[in-house]
Amino acid sequence: MVSGMVGTGTALGAVLVSLLAVPAQAAEPAADGANAMFRAATSPTTAQDLAAPDVTGLADVLKTAISQGAPGAMARIDDDGTAYTVARGIADRGTGRAMNASDRFRIGSATKSFSAVVLLQLVDEGKLDLDTSVNTYLPGLLPDDRITVRHVLSHRSGLYDYTNDMFADTVPGFEAVRTKVFSYQDLVNLSLQQPLTNAPGAAYSYSNTNFVVAGMLIEKLTGHPVATEYQNRIINPLELSDTLYVHPDTAIPGTHINGYLPPDKGGALVDSTEQTASWAQSAGAMISSTHDLNVFFSALMGGKLTSAAQLAQMQQWTTVNSTQGYGLGLRRRDLSCGVSVYGHTGTVQGYYTYAFASKDGKRSISALANTSNNANVLNTMARTLESAFCGKSATTAAARSAAPQQRHEDIAPAVTLN
């Protein structure tokens, strides 16, 4: 191992950068033009074609996130056998413990990619058809028989996102559900109190309800809890020792990062680490680490988790905005240097996650800030992708102009999610 220390050496200022050998994998995605979908711009297809990661720039991005209110921020890049880890700031405000890029944290909506993989494996096994009505598998669940499995996995079902109402007031909303245990049906019922936001298949409209339905499909088709299917199909085969689904337990086992939630109108941060995450479940309740997320998305893009046909289905992109597409439980982001990357973001109270891999899966990054409800930090953390995949050519100005500024991502009170 080669390591170096950058910064002041304090818990708030130290940046640890380390390089170590890890396994890597290979891949090949695809896309088509159906259902208002589009192709990404031509971009490098292998890690060897990418610029070298800008680790110094990455550290600067994390420093900026802290200046904007995140107690801490960290990232890990895995680059075809070499890993770079950068950590800055505080993991636990109570003890003053510094961030460590090996610690566990709540990954929020990056869980959706795990759920999608399980369902696409069921497609490979002949137990599920993407273009069949959800109501065929779960009779009477949804108000429109035209809503297909594909619509659910691509956020084109029109199902209203119940979190719009649940977290319209951020901290009071969170405290109301922090220890509550919902059934999947409870959450679907909350969604169905509102009409569909669009006709099935007509438009992209991000909704956590879709991946609650995904969890119900997994459990109906396998006869097992989602935790069992994650474990047997993904966690055990990939040896993801830090990846857990502990719902409805409230604690993060082992050494972990504490999450801090700011109130809407200012005031003291709320330690949001312990919660059931029952409001999210198969849409956002998993726990992982930067290492494990990189292994997962590298394996996914490397064709290790589904057939080539189902990986291609995951990458039929619906337009989100000028630089983003959404497939089946998978995001595509187009960076300022012309590179497209593939993965998911995650927002759960007190945690912002970005986890993306290159087209061949050989370079990946997972980055975390232990705050949420902070648009400045959300947008700043998106720039970790520029440092990881575009290198030093990605200036701050270019990175900011490349990504439309967003208020929220993955969980939001009545805003368009991107």
Which residues are part of the catalytic machinery? 109
SS3 call for 286:
coil
d(CA 82, CA 80): 6
d(CA 47, CA 25): 10
Nearest to 317 by CA among 297, 335, 341, 295: 341
Per the listing, tokens 């409805």 go with 248
Is the separation of the CB atoms in 355 and 344 below 8 Å?
Answer: yes
d(CA 197, CA 204): 10
Cα dihedral sign, 234-235-240-244? positive
d(CA 124, CA 139): 23
Cα dihedral sign, 294-284-401-41? positive
SS3 call for 10:
coil
For the chain, what percentages of helix, strand and coil (3-state, to nearest 5) are there? 35, 20, 50
d(CA 118, CA 121): 5
Q: Find all residues with CB under 8 Å of 238, minimum gap 6, and list them.
A: 292, 295, 296, 299, 304
d(CA 146, CA 123): 19
Cα dihedral sign, 308-311-317-318? positive
**Helix H or strand E encompassing 90:** strand 82-92
- What is the total residue count of the chain? 418
Nearest to 252 by CA among 264, 262, 239, 243: 243
Is the separation of the CB atoms in 221 and 137 below 8 Å?
Answer: yes
